[in-house]
Amino acid sequence: MYIVMVSAELAPVAKVGGLADVVFGLSRELEVRGHAVEIILPKYDCMWHDEIWGLHKIWENLWVPWYGSGISCSVWFGFVHGRKCFFIEPHSQDNFFHRGSFYGFHDDPLRFAFFCKATMEFILKSNKRPDIIHCHDWQTGLVPVLLYEIYARLGMDRQRVVYTIHNFKHQGVTGEAVLWATGLCRPEYYFHHDRLLDNFNHTAINLMKGGIVYSNYVNTVSPHHSWEARFSDQGYGLEQTLAIHHYKFGGILNGVDYDVWNPEIDRFIPSHYNVWNVEGKYGNKDALRDRLWLRKEYKPIVAYVGRLDAQKGVHLIQHAMFYALERGAQFVLLGAGGDRGINNHFWHLKHYLNDNSDCHMEIGFNEQLAHLIYAGADICVVPSLFEPCGLAQMIAMRYGSVPVVRAVGGLVDTVFDRDHSDRPLEERNGYVFHDADFRGIESALSRAIGLWFDYPKEFRRLISNAMSADYSWGQSGGHYLAIYEATRCR
Ligand code: ADP
Ligand code: GLC
């Protein structure tokens, strides 16, 4: 099969969160299984260019209709760790992708609407005719709309779209300008319940809703979250749309790319190890302490790696930090966020704890340090308020860091409580709590820290269970392929 991925992120070159890892990992898995995969991305100025091989311009003057006129684009090609990638670079005063960061601008809906339009023009004019166009999140929701309403008639009538929703919270709710800009026009047609009209704001369209309505198949990134999105409030207002389109909606658990996240060969950690030789892990604990100026004492390291966003349960992260310190553990945090208030809050905490040699907070994005933390920590907390899948807990397990998670979304599908799960003992791989309050997280974290101090052998067994769990792309890749097969045009 021939699959084109359209995404705003790709690890490691343009990564904000798990979306980037998923697009990379799934693409690799599909290629390994013998399918042709190409990835289309914006050409951001802030990409990690060192990780792109052979980047060169393959198209000059790709004319992309935009409002009544158009914008000329260059298209670049390069390999990202073997993946074939096309990068779209518009030349206009809007500077859509030359802003120094990936998101966070007032015209984000327009920036990514342009990306969708340019992607369709590129596919059309370069005569690519993939079986499946696989789009991700709100940024690419307009691709199936454009395909169905415009491009099918121009020669792309056999292309089918699979649309993966990684996060319902961000939907791309915007005004009618996007319609005029992309040539869809006809606001009276699109401002309709059955099409793009936002379910709450009747003066706005919703790009994610467009993705759901117009795609041939829609999924979110874990089975449990697909249930939450439909039957709780976690569809963020799209519950009704999902109910209407339920026959083409499902949940497929993300995988983790075990070539990128592998403590046996990880290029970012000094001491390699595996489940049969967990001793090697402690070389990384030492290295982590050296790097972050933590004192070397007989204590577990509890870590948080992730975005600093309300989704992640920031009050619980903060509480986990003080609670861990109180219980005689060390705490390491690596996080960055788009929200200035939350960022400032964590900067204040960082200053407050500056002299504490049992605690280190690193505020920013740092891929290498993330690897070292997963390898060096004993326990990783993921106390999310909602979590469509969550990769952090799966990566942590791969590195033998025991996850302490809240029972939501994909965390329910991947972490099984050591004491309370009904799974067989050897499948229990962490600690789970339910209530999003201090008592909730304490109930799980205290058991994890307690086991580390009081029953080290049992803790080792838990590490071994966590490392043995298989969350590679093997299974999930197969699920996506089955969906592609069922969806493609014959
Ligand atoms: P989300 O996609 O909601 O951010 P996931 O758990 O699915 O959450 O994926 C997060 C990914 O981003 C993981 O690979 C994690 O290691 C990485 N990550 C998050 N924050 C940082 C950071 N500040 N520095 C480095 N890597 C980070
Ligand atoms: C999102 C979700 C996260 C998921 C990731 C990759 O950002 O917040 O739970 O793992 O996408 O699908």
Among the bound ligands, the one closest to the CA of 392: 1
Residue 188 CA to ligand 1 centre (angstroms): 40
pLDDT tens per residue, range 75-119: 999 999 999 999 999 999 999 999 999 999 999 999 999 999 999
How far, in whole angstroms, is CA 486 from its chain's centroid?
A: 25
Q: Is 329 in the pocket of ligand 1 (CB under 6 A)?
A: no
Token representation of residue 305? 């790696």
Peptide bond into 12 cis (omega under 30): yes
288 and 234 both lie in a single domain = no
**Residues lower than pLDDT 70 in the chain:** none
In whole angstroms, give the CA distance from residue 47 to residue 101.
Answer: 9
pLDDT (0 to 100) of residue 254: 98
Ligand 1: nearest atom to the Cα of 311: 3
Nearest of 125, 51, 141 to residue 88 by alpha carbon: 125
Among the bound ligands, the one closest to the CA of 165: 2
pLDDT (0 to 100) of residue 338: 79
Q: Is 368 in the pocket of ligand 1 (CB under 6 A)?
A: no
In whole angstroms, give the CA distance from residue 230 to residue 220.
Answer: 11
424 and 379 both lie in a single domain = yes
Using alpha carbons only, give the angle 190, 196, 198 rounded to the nearest 5 degrees.
120
Residue 448, domain member (yes or no): yes
Residue 337 near residue 343, CB atoms below 8 Å: yes
Residue nearest to atom 26 of ligand 1 (CA): 367
Residue 17 CA to ligand 1 centre (angstroms): 4
Residue 254 near residue 22, CB atoms below 8 Å: yes
Could you tell me where the DSSP H helices lie in 232-382? Answer: 239-244, 281-292, 314-326, 340-352, 367-376
Residue nearest to atom 21 of ligand 1 (CA): 306
Ligand 2: nearest atom to the Cα of 388: 9
Q: Which helix H or strand E contains 28, and what residues bound it?
A: helix 18-32
Q: Is 17 in the pocket of ligand 1 (CB under 6 A)?
A: yes
- According to DSSP, the β-strands at 2-6 and 160-165 are unpaired
Residue 366, domain member (yes or no): yes
In whole angstroms, give the CA distance from residue 152 to residue 287.
Answer: 55
308 and 342 both lie in a single domain = yes
How far, in whole angstroms, is CA 248 from its chain's centroid?
A: 22
Q: Pocket of ligand 2, candidates 391, 408, 476: which has the most ligand atoms within 8 Å of its Cβ, to mutate? A: 391
In whole angstroms, give the CA distance from residue 393 to residue 285.
Answer: 18
pLDDT (0 to 100) of residue 337: 86
Total domains present in the chain: 2
Token representation of residue 182? 């992309």
Sign of the alpha-carbon dihedral angle for 476, 409, 442, 438: positive
CATH number for the domain harbouring residue 149: 3.40.50.2000
Q: Is 392 in the pocket of ligand 1 (CB under 6 A)?
A: yes
372 and 334 both lie in a single domain = yes
Residue 390 CA to ligand 2 centre (angstroms): 5
CB burial of 439-461 (b: ≥16 within 10 Å; e: otherwise) equals: ebbbbbbebbbebbeeeeeebeb
331 and 301 both lie in a single domain = yes
What angle separates helix 142-149 from helix 108-125, to the nearest 10 degrees? 50
Residue 147 CA to ligand 1 centre (angstroms): 32
Ligand 1: nearest atom to the Cα of 254: 7
Residue nearest to atom 3 of ligand 2 (CA): 390
290 and 240 both lie in a single domain = no
Give me the phi and psi of 438, to 5 degrees please: -60, -40
175 and 26 both lie in a single domain = yes
Residue 479 near residue 252, CB atoms below 8 Å: yes
Ligand 1: nearest atom to the Cα of 391: 6
In whole angstroms, give the CA distance from residue 149 to residue 123.
Answer: 15
In whole angstroms, give the CA distance from residue 471 to residue 397.
Answer: 9
Residue 295, domain member (yes or no): yes
289 and 430 both lie in a single domain = yes
Mean of the per-residue pLDDT values of the chain: 98
pLDDT tens per residue, range 301-350: 999 999 999 999 999 999 999 999 999 999 999 999 878 999 999 999 99
pTM: 0.98
Q: Is 21 in the pocket of ligand 1 (CB under 6 A)?
A: yes
Ligand 2 pocket by Cβ (under 6 Å): 17-19, 22, 166-167, 221, 254, 387-391, 410
Q: Which helix H or strand E contains 416, and what residues bound it?
A: none
Among the bound ligands, the one closest to the CA of 306: 1
466 and 483 both lie in a single domain = no
Residue nearest to atom 12 of ligand 1 (CA): 17
248 and 336 both lie in a single domain = no
Domain carrying residue 59: 2-255+474-488
222 and 352 both lie in a single domain = no
In whole angstroms, give the CA distance from residue 460 to residue 275.
Answer: 10
How far, in whole angstroms, is CA 466 from its chain's centroid?
A: 21
229 and 289 both lie in a single domain = no
Dihedral through CA 31, CA 37, CA 40, CA 46, nearest 10? 20
Among the bound ligands, the one closest to the CA of 365: 1
Residue 275, domain member (yes or no): no
Q: Which helix H or strand E contains 54, and what residues bound it?
A: strand 52-66
Q: Is 361 in the pocket of ligand 1 (CB under 6 A)?
A: no
Q: Is 28 exposed, middle or buried (0-12, 13-18, 19+ CB in 10 A)?
A: buried
What angle separates helix 473-487 from helix 18-32, to the nearest 10 degrees? 80
Residue 267, domain member (yes or no): no
Residue 46, domain member (yes or no): yes
Q: Is 421 in the pocket of ligand 1 (CB under 6 A)?
A: no
301 Cβ neighbours under 8 A, 6+ residues apart: 285, 288, 289, 294, 329, 330, 331, 332, 376, 377, 378, 379
Nearest of 25, 163, 162 to residue 476 by alpha carbon: 25
Residue 262, domain member (yes or no): no
Residue 273 near residue 281, CB atoms below 8 Å: yes
Q: What is the largest CA-CA distance in the chain?
A: 71
69 Cβ neighbours under 8 A, 6+ residues apart: none
Q: Is 56 exposed, middle or buried (0-12, 13-18, 19+ CB in 10 A)?
A: exposed
Among the bound ligands, the one closest to the CA of 15: 1
Residue 271, domain member (yes or no): no
Q: Is 367 in the pocket of ligand 1 (CB under 6 A)?
A: yes
